[in-house]
Amino acid sequence: MSIDLRERAVEYVESGGKQLEACRIFKISHRTLCGWLKRFRESGNLAPKPMGSRPWKLDHAIVVDYVKVRNDSTLQEIANHFGTVVSVIDYILRKHKITRKKNYSLR
């Protein structure tokens, strides 16, 4: 949401307006307004927090190279090797269009 909207809503409450009334006027949730007020009172800043993804803990190239060398490894074995969970390995392999053959003979 725009900083202008945040400023107007916080200014309304800080000048004596009721929070629920501000929510109705500015068409925002009470939880959103409470977050803005808390942020404003703690830091004086209403700018949104920076968004972005966390850096990958695993280098995709290393995982792909490992799979090419050990192409008979299961997803669980690969995940154990890298100290992560199967879903992370599955995501990386799908992203690089590497499919894994299921080995039902081990069951």
| Helix axes 60-69 and 86-95, enclosed angle (nearest 10) | 90
Confidence of residue 48 (pLDDT cuts 50, 70, 90): confident
pLDDT of residue 58: 83
pLDDT of residue 51: 76
Which segments of 1-107 does DSSP mark as H helices, in order?
A: 3-14, 19-26, 30-43, 60-69, 75-82, 86-95
For residue 98, pLDDT over 60 is answered with yes
Interatomic CA distance for residues 2 and 75, integer angstroms: 44
Both tokens of residue 103? Answer: 């080995």
For residue 55, pLDDT over 70 is answered with no
Q: What's the farthest any 2 CA atoms get from each other in the chain?
A: 71
Reported pTM = 0.50
